[in-house]
Amino acid sequence: MNASKHILVVEDERIVARDIQRSLTDLGYQVPVTAATSEQALHLVGEHCPDLVLMDIRLKGNVDGIDTAALLKAKYEVPVVYLTAYADALTVERAKATEPLGYVLKPLRPNELRSAVELALCRHGMEKQLREREHWLTTTLSSIGDAVVSSDDKGLVTYVNPVAEALLGVRQPQALGLGCQQVVKLIDEQSRLAIEDQVTVALRELKSVQVEGILTSADGREHLLDASTSPIVDERGRVLGAVMVFQDVTETKQIQRRLERADRLASTATIASGIAHEVNNPLAFVVANLAFVLDAVRSFKASASSAKLGPIDGWCDEVETALTEAQQGAARVCQIVADLRVFTAIEPARSSTGLPSLRESVDVRETLDWALDMATSALRFVSIVRVFEPVPKVTGESTRLGLAFVNILVNAAESMSAEGHEPRRVTLVTRTTEEGDAMIEIRDTGVGMTENVSRRVLEPFFTTKETGRGRGLGLSICHGIISSMGGVLELESAPDHGTVARVRLPARTKTISPVAPLISDDEARGYVLIVDDEMMMRSVLQRVLGKQHILTCPKTSPEALALIDGGMRYDLILCDLMMPLLSGPAFYAELVRRHPDQARRTAFLTGGAVNPEILEFLHSSQNPCIQKPFDSIQLRDAVCALVKELGVIPRPELPS
């Protein structure tokens, strides 16, 4: 075992040096050369890299053995055992400063020499392994992506890895010896109160603890940390200290909250779409029947007036007023339902006739200018700053996008309406992102929002306004409009620091050909098949369309399909989408398969898309779609226009 160990003897007495060399060789060590001076020792260590140096303290020359050992330790980390005839206190203290592995007094005995050398080599090997382990551990802790802070059993910092240094804004030398509570100060995200030092808790309870809190770094930035702290206990149960491992979860939490908010919005949108559908069917009865009765009362009133029936005349006035008020109330309900449909952002946009609206090329900056003009009244005491950089055109509807911008601008103005609030400034910024999207920012200097309000502000029906001052659909509708264009609306706000509304819209990638309008004032009489499971809806359609067209109104969609299978042909088929037995899309699919000529003559009635199948069908269908509730006059005009556009099928006169 000793044959592989190389020892250098540094001794200025040549006879003593040779004697030690011979003794070590007899013991099985390699001692090829000896040194007499400090200079020779430094040179030979550099050349031979010995495992151990036996160093005489008293060397000839200006540099003695202790100073030479210090140089060897600093440059080569080679272990040293001192050989000396001197053991005075001063010499021993100087020697201890160089951390030798042994101190042997002359004259040397072979057994003592062997024991000193063996112990020194063994100790050096163990210390080397320990240093390598410590280096490996330190390198590992420095390389991992989590922040690590360790302490002793008193809670004083013993180690801070680079990730922790970056988060805390403090270097390890500054933190060593400080209490962990002085270095890692966490506060509760909600209450903003200080969280008890987790190292103290782990050492007191002798178990791992986990907490989430906000850390303010030295540069003033806030980081949301997920911290886990555990006591360090050895195999004998002794508590050596504690280690805290923490991650910066700020971005992860932001993404999680955005996903949760998107999930809530999606769920609410589904509910809103269902409500819109359920309300629209009975609302269509109400609106159409009110229009019918109001028209009848006005006709009767005109007749009564010409006949000079005074009392009847007054009664007609009261009925007309009541019906007009009811019609206005129904119109308000219609608007709320329309707002809900816009919020859901899942149905294709439709014109007032129910036909697909044109998706146009939208100039964002022109739309912003239009929105500023529309919001002039709300912004009359506000300074407007435009920072417009070039942005690509986007695909959508400029009017709806403009209304979204108006809503955001009005909200910004209202946030600065408090008396004495200064400055009152709205900054509009447009720029192109690295991905080529259009980015619009609307920044205000208003009162800002708390985090709780920011999280909920895009939810439908959520409002901070007083009761009666708003329905809480404004920003949720903006979100729906922007989402329907493939964009994203994000809000960044803090109390007393204003709000930034960021709208990101994808650049227009293709040109969409305009659809020629079908509406015409000319009337055409046609054979119309009504396919709707709602008896009251069939009655309304008969009442509105029956005087002009020849209507067939079976009770179910299978009955309607049987009529066509039997040879009946219709100039126009008005088909509801949501029906039992055979839904609108399923009915249409059968027409496409069995009677494609009738499929081309089908228009759909809908109170809202409430399931993915209907939604997909609406997006893919090229057939006209009429939204419920509908205005009686517009419905008549739309049906006449469709019959005229499609053409009347030549047929022998059929019985009514």
Residue 328 lies in a domain: yes
Burial code of 450-472, b = ≥16 C-beta within 10 A, e = fewer? Answer: eeeebbebbbbeebeeeeeeeeb
Q: Are residues 45 and 133 in the same domain?
A: yes
448 conformational bin, left if phi > 0, alpha if psi -120 to 50, beta if neither: left
User: Which pLDDT score is estimated for 337?
Assistant: 65
CA distance 428 to 441: 6
Cα 90 from chain centroid (whole Å): 69
User: Tens digit of pLDDT for each residue in 508-529?
Assistant: 764 333 333 333 334 568 899 9
CA distance 654 to 550: 10
Q: Are residues 558 and 501 in the same domain?
A: no
Of the three residues 205, 230, 248, the one that is the final residue of a domain is 248
Of the three residues 314, 344, 374, the one that is the final residue of a domain is 344
Residue 521 lies in a domain: no
Which CATH number covers residue 199?
3.30.450.20
Which CATH number covers residue 14?
3.40.50.2300
Model pTM score: 0.41
CA distance 456 to 453: 5
User: Which pLDDT score is estimated for 419?
Assistant: 58
User: Which pLDDT score is estimated for 632?
Assistant: 77
Burial bucket for residue 611 (CB in 10 Å: 0-12, 13-18, 19+): middle
User: Which pLDDT score is estimated for 347?
Assistant: 47
User: Which pLDDT score is estimated for 96?
Assistant: 83
Q: Are residues 98 and 221 in the same domain?
A: no
Q: Are residues 243 and 262 in the same domain?
A: no
Residues of the chain with pLDDT under 70: 1-3, 86-87, 143, 258-278, 280-281, 285, 304-315, 332-360, 417-421, 452-474, 509-524, 608-612, 615, 619, 652-656
CA distance 146 to 17: 55
The 8-class DSSP code of residue 555 comes to: S
Q: Are residues 448 and 382 in the same domain?
A: yes
User: Tens digit of pLDDT for each residue in 406-457?
Assistant: 888 888 888 776 555 678 889 999 999 988 999 999 998 887 777 766 665 6
Cβ atoms of 641 and 629 within 8 Å: the answer is no
Which CATH number covers residue 482?
3.30.565.10
Peptide bond into 107 cis (omega under 30): yes
Q: Are residues 364 and 497 in the same domain?
A: yes
CA distance 153 to 155: 6
Beta bridge partners of 429: 387, 441
What's the total number of domains in the chain?
A: 5
CA distance 155 to 152: 5
Q: Identify which of 151, 300, 348 has the alpha carbon closest to the alpha carbon of residue 230.
A: 151
Residue 115 lies in a domain: yes
